[in-house]
Chains A and B, each alone.
Chain A
Amino acid sequence: MEFPFRKIIFSESETEKIAADFSKILAPSDLVCLNGSLGAGKTFFVKKICSSLGYDSVSSPTFAIVNEYNFQKKIYHFDFYRIKKNLEIIDIGFEDYLNDSDAIIFIEWAELFEELLPKKRFLVTIKLNDDNSREISIDNLK
């Protein structure tokens, strides 16, 4: 997979394929930020990446703020949707999570608190189009 990556997709299986390809380059300490409106498919994309990595029980972290998955790999799956101010994120120990070099970290609604994010990160943007298609972009920010 080369960055920046852009593709318009029309089915779930195409999303799965992109997620599978993307999962191959992910390594511990990588940060993946996901942006896109409600219903764009951010959780679905993370779910499919994790299935490719060998973990099938991913569900939405909206309520919990962060879900932790420990299998052969360690994953922190965040959602900033419910957060009202950046102090709340700092207060739950976000910096400690970020500094865990053993884990791959996913953050949904990351753009809400962009100021807290390290410069080096993958940025996944999912856009819902009017014709039921979706545009998936992945940038490798440095």
Chain B
Amino acid sequence: MNILGIESSCDETSVAIISDDVLKTNLVSSQDFHKKFGGVVPELSSRAHLQQIVPLLRLALKESKLELNEIDLISATAGPGLIGAILVGFIFGKGLSYSLKKPFIPVNHIEGHIYSGFLMKEKPEFPFLVLVVSGGHTLLLVVESFSRIKKLGSTIDDAAGEAFDKVAKMLGLGYPGGPKIQEYAEKSNGSKIVFPIAQLKNEFDFSFSGLKTSVLRFIQKEYGESSAIPEKELFDIAEAFQKTAVKSLTRNVERAINKYQLNSISLVGGVAANSFLRDEFTLLGKKYNKKVVIPDLQFCGDNAAMIANRAKNLFDLGETFDLDYEPFPSFFSKYFQ
């Protein structure tokens, strides 16, 4: 069976094809489109999705050596995200479904991330713990099956990826913030700066807003402004921030491992690209003897492979959807407990 996945919930347009459990192609606009087609600097716009989606589909079919009419199932992100952006991929998918007379499966973007470990050769085993960390989301969940997800906690303010971006900006390191913080932190010999970790009512929730403000206060107090920070001390601040942010994530993971019966732990989403977080997460798995699944980098950021992958689960569960199914900008999932 050939499954087409389409993702357009925010900045990236992505098209992927999975054939009988084998991923044939996973094209992401910012990485592939601009490289292969030249074109403008990516901007946040529904028009950008509109311009990219057809060429991406053509290229995906070519790379998969398939004709359009050989696609058996069409899936697209239905939310959450920016409604104007979602609509482009979603309506395009519905249109294909109608004209090809093949079933259409709307997919929740977050569920796509949650099950993205199944795109790997070594797959998670139920029940597993999953930490979703991206620019827009920070969630800790126990996944009991393909249709049962228990939410333990989420961020009460900023997402983890957002904290990395904003602290990078405060330090004058530029964009994107995640890789910059990691790069600078790696050059530190270990700093003595201590930033606080928030203590929250729900032991599985996260908060990054206070950490962001602590870094800001520290810069103001010690240097006045970021341009006055000597380079070596930038390394130390980046290291101290990264250590604290990662600790606040892994602390909750460790609490969950101690409280729930789990067979695997999985780290997903764009911030899962951070190598310090990957290392610390892997160490926790070793410490508690849990199988660790962290998807390859191409499945961490927003991508359509995870959408097609989740659509396959839903198809196998026997789920069917009418073409009048509507997309949702806010979070909605019937599989969350």
Give A69-89 interface residues, CB cut-off 8 Å to B: 69-70, 82-85, 87-88
Give a binary string over A42-80; 1 marks a CB under 8 Å from any B CB, 0 the rest.
Answer: 011001000000000001101111111110000000000
The answer for the CA separation of A79 and B169 in the assembled complex, in Å, is 16
Give a binary string over A87-98; 1 marks a CB under 8 Å from any B CB, 0 the rest.
Answer: 110011100000
Stretch of B15-23, B75-83, B235-243, B285-293 with 4 or more beta carbons under 8 angstroms from chain A: B75-83
Q: Give the residue of B83, B162, B215 whose beta carbon is less than 8 angstroms from that of A93.
A: B83
B217 interface hit (Cβ, 8 Å): yes
Give B36-53 interface residues, CB cut-off 8 Å to A: 43-47
B157 interface hit (Cβ, 8 Å): yes
Q: What count of chain A residues pass the 8 Å CB interface test?
A: 30
> Nearest chain-B residue to A89 (Cβ)?
B44
The answer for the CA separation of A114 and B125 in the assembled complex, in Å, is 51
Cβ A44 vs Cβ B209 within 8 A: yes
With A38-B169, A82-B44, A91-B46 as known contacts, state yes or no: A65 contacts B82, CB within 8 Å: yes
Cβ B44 vs Cβ A65 within 8 A: yes
The answer for the CA separation of A68 and B134 in the assembled complex, in Å, is 19
> Nearest chain-B residue to A61 (Cβ)?
B136
Cβ B47 vs Cβ A91 within 8 A: yes
Interface residues of A (CB under 8 A from B): 37-39, 41, 43-44, 47, 59-60, 62-70, 82-85, 87-88, 91-93, 128, 130, 132
Interface residues of B (CB under 8 A from A): 10, 43-47, 80-85, 134-136, 154-159, 161-162, 165-166, 169-170, 209, 212-213, 215-217, 220, 329-330
* A-B contacts, 13 listed (Cβ < 8 Å): A47-B157, A59-B158, A60-B209, A63-B134, A63-B159, A63-B162, A64-B81, A64-B136, A66-B329, A83-B44, A88-B43, A91-B46, A92-B85
